Amino acid sequence: MKIALIVENSQAAKSSIIHDALSSVAGSYGHEVFHYGMYSSEDDASLTYVMNGLLAGILLNSKAADFVVTGCGTGMGSMLACNSMPGVFCGLVIDPTDAFLFSQINAGNAISMPYAKGFGWAAELNLEDCYHKLFQNEPGLGYPKERAAIMKTNRGILSDLKSAACHDMLTVLKNVDQDLLKSAIAGEKFEQLFYANCQDQAIADYLRSL
């Protein structure tokens, strides 16, 4: 699985802590992490939580990534921005129980975490525990197990609702503020990581045209 990491500007100083924890855990399950920035608080390209959501939408809808890990100070802004995108189902994960339940019940494709609120002593251990609970089991198995079937049904209904409520991603890209879009894809490694993994030629062509 290709996991994209996106770090918002207010928490960019913690980028290496987040990346190291995610890479260590994801790698142990055979997954690969692609870090789309920010890499430090001094980066030229700055990502707001709104841009996090837009970038998550681009990566997931183009299949350049299978899963997105992002966040901000509280995790809520990035979660809301992600969920405004077509095809993105993002949960707020604060502790390992959240991670386990989101994986088993909701089986979404993105999480947002708080990297300021409650991010204290041994915070990297909480991150690692969350990532283990997120990736150690096949998603969507249900909890409790006897409710797995109805949970799967509800996920399908939610997916249909999302499709009815949202434009396709290419339309979103054409309609969104173009300066915002350019800023969201301005990271120093975006071109290197994205175009090598993108599986939607129309999205790739449009972004290249910018």
CA distances to 2, 59, 62, 124, 141 from 86, rounded to whole Å, are 19, 11, 11, 31, 24
The domain locations on the chain are 2-209
Structure tokens at 108: 């979404």
The rounded distance, in Å, linking the Cα atoms of 96 and 104 is: 12
What strands, in cross-sheet order, belong to the sheet with 110-114?
32-35, 2-5, 67-72, 110-114, 90-92
CATH of 2-209, one of 3.40.50.2300, 3.40.1400.10, 3.40.630.30, 3.30.565.60: 3.40.1400.10
What is the reported pLDDT for 48?
98
Which residues, other chains included, contact 121 with Cβ-Cβ below 8 Å and sequence gap of 6+?
none
pLDDT in tens, 119-141: 999 999 999 999 999 999 999 99
What is the reported pLDDT for 188?
94
pLDDT in tens, 31-49: 999 999 999 999 999 999 9
Structure tokens at 103: 């994986």
